[in-house]
Amino acid sequence: MRRTLKGKQTPLSSELVAGIARLVASLGMEVDTSPAIIAKLVCEVIHGWCIVLPVQSADAWLAEAAVFAHSFIDSQDCVVVGYEEKYFTAISEAFLAGARTSTKSWIAHIELNQGQAEAQDIIDRAVRVGLLSTEEKFSRSTV
Instruction: Count H helices and E strands in the chain, helices first.
Output: 8, 0
Does 54 have pLDDT greater than 70? yes
What per-residue confidence (pLDDT) applies to 129?
Answer: 83
What per-residue confidence (pLDDT) applies to 105?
Answer: 56
Percent with pLDDT over 90 in the chain: 44
Distance separating alpha carbons of residues 44 and 24, to the nearest angstrom: 11
pLDDT in tens, 68-117: 999 999 998 776 666 667 789 999 999 999 998 888 754 454 444 456 67
Total domain count, the chain: 1
- Domain of 105 in residue numbering reads as 2-140
Arithmetic mean of pLDDT, 20-44: 94
Arithmetic mean of pLDDT, 62-70: 96
